[in-house]
Amino acid sequence: MSRPIVFSGPSGTGKSTLLKKLFAEFPDKFGFSVSSTTRSPRPGEVNGREYNFVQVEQFQKMIQEGKFIEWAQFSGNYYGTAVDSVKKVIESGKVCLLDIDMQGVKAVKSSDLNARFLFIAPPSVEDLESRLRGRGTETEESISKRLAAAKGEMDFASTGVHDKIIVNDDLNRAYDEMKQFILATEK
Ligand SMILES: Nc1ncnc2c1ncn2[C@@H]1O[C@H](COP(=O)(O)OP(=O)(O)OP(=O)(O)O)[C@@H](O)[C@H]1O
């Protein structure tokens, strides 16, 4: 059974960019867990494929029972990553990748998932800010929030809880370092 690999790091540090490269190079080797949600399926969405669609009562019960690595509420609906969804990916023979925040990292650490933890750090806070601006997806308020949260993530990483910290300065160099860590993990 392969060990899940947890990606964390400040918003805008390049996690999605690195993961996208990894999926492009190894289309069948890795998988993401299917999230759970209480929102209604949209046309064409299949239960267990896009999301696990669950009733509010069931979702709340799962929260109570500690079944989620992380969960949140957006516009009146619950969304979360269940430990069981990660196990499903592992059972399918793929290496499960998780992109989660500090709270999620703590939850995975206290689960039985036996994960390995990778922290993607920005070269500097200034670089992080310019990447967030450059991405063009955030309001000023959202940028400030993400930069404040970044400080918490970096402080957390400085306590040595991750197996590896990669500075995403040059994308290809960071990618190679990440790949080396991930492929070594499988042995
Ligand atoms: N090594 C790099 N050098 C310069 N720019 C980069 C590098 N890596 C990523 N970027 C750019 O930085 C921006 C943020 O990257 P990305 O969206 O991958 O971050 P993220 O960590 O996934 O953020 P979030 O947690 O908010 O999803 C993107 O516009 C991306 O193209």
Q: Which domain holds residue 105?
A: 5-183
**Quick check: 43 pLDDT over 80?**
yes
For residue 11, which phi and psi values (nearest 5 degrees)?
-60, 130
Please name the amino acid found at residue 132.
Answer: L
Atom of ligand 1 nearest to the CA of 174: 1
What does the mean pLDDT of the chain come to?
95
- Express each pLDDT in 154-163 by its tens digit: 999 999 999 9
How far apart CA 172 and CA 178 sit, in angstroms, is 10
| Cβ-based neighbours of 14, under 8 Å, separated by 6 or more | 120, 122, 131, 168, 171, 174
Separation of CA 143 and ligand 1 centre (Å): 13
CA distance 8 to 161: 11
- Please tell me the predicted confidence (pLDDT) of residue 63: 97
Amino acid 185: pLDDT: 59
CATH code of the domain covering residue 140: 3.40.50.300
Question: In the chain, pLDDT over 90 holds for what percent of residues?
Answer: 95
Percentage of residues in the chain having pLDDT higher than 70: 98
Structure tokens at 57: 């009562």
Q: Does the model's pTM come out above 0.80?
A: yes
CA of 55 to the centre of ligand 1 (A): 34
Measured in Å, residue 167 CA sits from the centre of ligand 1 at: 12
Distances (CA, A) of 40 to 19, 35, 75, 76, 150: 28, 13, 13, 12, 33
pLDDT of residue 186: 53
Tokens (6 digits) for 142: 């959202």
The count of domains in the chain is 1
Ligand 1 site, CB within 6 A:
11-17, 131, 134-135, 168, 171, 174
What digits encode the pLDDT tens for the residues 9-36?
Answer: 999 999 999 999 999 999 999 999 999 9
Once rounded to an integer, what is the mean pLDDT over residues 146-159?
96
DSSP state of 23: H
- Tell which atom from ligand 1 comes closest to the C-alpha of 136: 29
Interface pTM (ipTM) of the complex? 0.96
**CA nearest 89: which of 160, 21, 2?**
2
- Are 104 and 70 in contact, with CB atoms under 8 Å apart? yes
